[in-house]
């Protein structure tokens, strides 16, 4: 497992493409690189880049807040979502 640290840069609200009246919230994240010692350590030791994700929940992500992103290799698929 690799744990990365990202900061939410913005969340944009848009109307769902099926015109059902629902809204989508798209959050954009960038990797931390400075600010404190933990951020510097994460930048030196883990992957860097940006992430863009969407959700139907308005308050799922907050601009300015920090989030850990864990990356795990899938060794065997198990359908645990049911």
Task: Find out whether 55 and 61 touch, Cβ atoms under 8 Å.
Answer: yes
Q: Around Cβ 67, how many Cβ atoms within 10 Å?
A: 15
| pLDDT digits 0-9 by tens, 18-73 | 878 889 999 999 999 988 999 999 899 998 899 999 999 989 999 999 999 999 99
pLDDT of residue 81: 64
81 lies in a domain?
A: no
Our count of domains for the chain comes to 1
- Mean pLDDT value of segment 7-26: 90
- Mean pLDDT value of segment 9-14: 95
- Domain range for 65: 2-71
Report how far residue 68's alpha carbon sits from residue 70's, in angstroms, rounded to the nearest whole number. Answer: 6
48 lies in a domain?
A: yes
41 lies in a domain?
A: yes
Report how far residue 24's alpha carbon sits from residue 51's, in angstroms, rounded to the nearest whole number. Answer: 16
pTM: 0.81
């Amino acid at each position: 497992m690799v744990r990365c640290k990202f900061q939410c840069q913005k969340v944009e609200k848009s109307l769902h493409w099926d015109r059902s009246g629902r809204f989508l919230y798209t959050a954009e994240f960038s990797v931390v690189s400075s600010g404190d010692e933990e951020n510097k350590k994460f930048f030196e030791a883990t992957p860097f880049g940006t992430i863009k994700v969407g959700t139907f929940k308005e308050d799922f992500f907050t601009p300015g807040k920090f989030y850990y992103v864990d990356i795990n290799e899938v060794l065997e698929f198990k359908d645990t979502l049911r």
